[in-house]
């Protein structure tokens, strides 16, 4: 009993330590109050879930352990197998090798074929195309701007640039019409250097991007992928069109959009998501916070299939993940910052007791 009390006090102390920038000297009463506060808030959030998922921890000690592992994250899982979380001394050890998170950079390919690595380009103007200026900002944006309308600028309607990211990269671009685009890892967007004199503002997307489209009723904005087209006038939405995913998902946050494909067409309302698979185009309610979490710097998984989680981690950390197990029925829920090293995220997933990981350079093996 004395040993159990000591371990619980240690767990509570570490919980408080991870919530503070220093290591305070805490009384037993302070530790108890802190633990009750965190445990109560997490349990309240857990009870609100529509899907009943097994809690990963038990009072105080396990709650602290989850935060120790993931740095203020909460994970749970849904599986037919009853598995208790596995927490041991290894979680506090620094891994022998690790993988840093992705970075804010991309490659800009101009119409003449010139490639500009934005990680190497200085802030300020990096290129000019017949009067249209392309600038890089200190906070990681690419901005198109021009002063006066002229024939040379108008001719740029037929000149296309491409912004692309590889695994472990993401970036933001402000297009010539003022529309804002956030480009996720392993993605690319091709667009005119100027939208003037164009009936439609059409861009080509591969991968995933979040759009905040500038309003222009006379010139619809169209996002074209290999499977569909999204038509809007001015709105906020996310398109996920990775080739290794089973469906193309378009999620609307504001305004309205029309989805067109060879499987039919649908109009989305805010909070809805379309899913275009091989044979169907359907619409359902969406968790918009989960959808745009990547753009806001987080991973949010809501009953997410384990395979989908692995693909997201592979893109952001630029690693190959080899899954030697059978996890077709494993679904996880949780939140963690994308700024964490990969070992931190993997340890949070290991709390389920269902999987273990081994990092071998740029390869991660699921054991």
Rg (CA), the chain: 24
Q: What is the DSSP string of 137-204?
A: -TTSEEEEEESS--HHHHHGGG-EEEEE--TTEEEEEE-TTS-EEEE-TT-EEEEES--TT-SSEEEE
C-alpha span between 78 and 16 (Å, rounded)? 29
Confidence at residue 134, expressed as pLDDT on a 0 to 100 scale: 94
Q: Where do you find CATH 3.55.50.30 in the chain? A: 298-366
Confidence at residue 57, expressed as pLDDT on a 0 to 100 scale: 31
Confidence at residue 122, expressed as pLDDT on a 0 to 100 scale: 94
Q: Is 317 helix (H, G, I), strand (E, B) or coil?
A: helix
| Half-sphere CA count of 32, side-chain side, radius 13 A | 4
Give the range with max mean pLDDT: 45-54, 189-198, 266-275, 344-353: 266-275
| Half-sphere CA count of 84, side-chain side, radius 13 A | 4
Pair 316, 342: CB distance under 8 Å: no
Give the range with max mean pLDDT: 130-134, 168-172, 233-237, 259-263: 168-172
Output the pTM of the full model.
0.76
| 139 exposure class (CB count in 10 Å sphere: 0-12, 13-18, 19+) | exposed
Pair 313, 319: CB distance under 8 Å: yes
Which positions ≥6 away from 267 have C-beta within 8 Å? 256, 257, 258, 259
Confidence of residue 132 (pLDDT cuts 50, 70, 90): confident
Widest CA span in the chain? 84
CATH number of 103-291: 2.60.120.1440
Confidence at residue 23, expressed as pLDDT on a 0 to 100 scale: 43
Confidence of residue 49 (pLDDT cuts 50, 70, 90): very low
Which is nearest to 132 in space by CA: 115, 123, 148, 145?
Answer: 145
In this predicted structure, the answer to whether residue 97 has a pLDDT above a threshold of 50 is yes
C-beta atoms surrounding 122 within 10 Å: 7
Confidence of residue 78 (pLDDT cuts 50, 70, 90): low
Lowest mean pLDDT among 41-45, 54-58, 76-80, 306-310: 54-58
Which is nearest to 328 in space by CA: 354, 302, 358, 359?
Answer: 354
Q: What are residue 54's phi and psi, to 5 degrees?
A: -70, 135
Q: Where do you find CATH 2.60.120.1440 in the chain? A: 103-291
Q: Parallel, antiparallel, or unpaired for β 74-78 and 331-337?
A: antiparallel
Dihedral (CA of 270, 276, 280, 286) sign:
negative
C-alpha span between 191 and 181 (Å, rounded)? 11
In this predicted structure, the answer to whether residue 26 has a pLDDT above a threshold of 70 is no
In this predicted structure, the answer to whether residue 71 has a pLDDT above a threshold of 50 is no
Tens-digit pLDDT profile for residues 326-349: 788 899 988 999 999 999 999 999
> What does the DSSP 8-state code read for residue 54?
B
Which is nearest to 313 in space by CA: 273, 366, 266, 271?
Answer: 366
CA distances from 19 to 35, 57, 346, 348 (A): 11, 18, 20, 17
C-alpha span between 72 and 92 (Å, rounded)? 15
pLDDT higher for 306 or 88?
A: 306
- State in words which class domain 298-366 has: alpha beta
Q: What are residue 192's phi and psi, to 5 degrees?
A: -70, 145
C-alpha triplet 347, 352, 357: angle, nearest 5°: 40
In this predicted structure, the answer to whether residue 47 has a pLDDT above a threshold of 60 is no
């Amino acid at each position: 009993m004395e040993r159990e009390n000591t371990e619980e006090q240690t767990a509570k102390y570490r919980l408080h330590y991870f919530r503070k920038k220093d290591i305070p000297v805490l009384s037993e009463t302070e530790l108890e109050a802190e633990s009750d506060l965190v445990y109560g808030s997490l349990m309240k959030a857990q009870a609100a879930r529509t899907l009943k998922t097994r809690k990963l921890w038990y009072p105080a000690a396990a709650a602290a352990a989850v935060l120790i592992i993931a740095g203020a994250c909460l994970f749970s899982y849904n599986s037919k197998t009853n598995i208790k979380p596995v927490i041991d001394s290894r979680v506090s050890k620094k891994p022998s090798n690790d993988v840093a998170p992705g970075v804010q950079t991309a490659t800009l390919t101009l119409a003449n074929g010139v490639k500009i690595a934005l990680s190497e380009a200085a802030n300020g103007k990096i290129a000019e195309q017949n009067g249209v200026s392309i600038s890089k900002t200190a906070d990681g944006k690419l901005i198109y701007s021009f002063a006066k309308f002229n024939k040379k600028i108008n001719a740029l309607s037929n000149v296309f640039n491409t912004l692309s990211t590889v695994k472990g990269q993401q970036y933001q671009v402000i297009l010539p019409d003022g529309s804002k685009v956030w480009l996720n890892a392993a993605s690319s967007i091709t667009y005119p250097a100027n939208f003037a004199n164009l009936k439609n503002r059409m861009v080509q997307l591969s991968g995933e991007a979040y759009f905040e489209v500038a309003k222009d009723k006379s010139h619809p904005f169209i996002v074209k992928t290999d499977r569909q087209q999204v038509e809007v006038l001015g709105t906020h939405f996310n398109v996920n069109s990775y080739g290794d995913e089973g469906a193309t998902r378009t999620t609307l946050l504001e305004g309205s959009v029309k989805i067109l494909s060879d499987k039919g067409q649908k109009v989305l309302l805010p909070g809805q998501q379309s899913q275009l698979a091989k044979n169907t185009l359907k619409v359902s309610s969406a968790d918009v916070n989960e959808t745009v979490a990547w753009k806001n710097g987080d991973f949010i998984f809501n009953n997410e299939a384990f395979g989908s989680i692995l693909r997201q981690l592979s893109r952001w950390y630029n690693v190959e993940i080899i899954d030697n197990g059978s996890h077709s029925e494993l679904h996880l829920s949780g939140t963690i910052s994308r700024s964490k090293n990969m070992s931190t995220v993997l340890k949070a997933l290991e709390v389920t007791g269902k999987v273990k990981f081994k990092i071998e350079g740029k390869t991660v093996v699921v054991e």
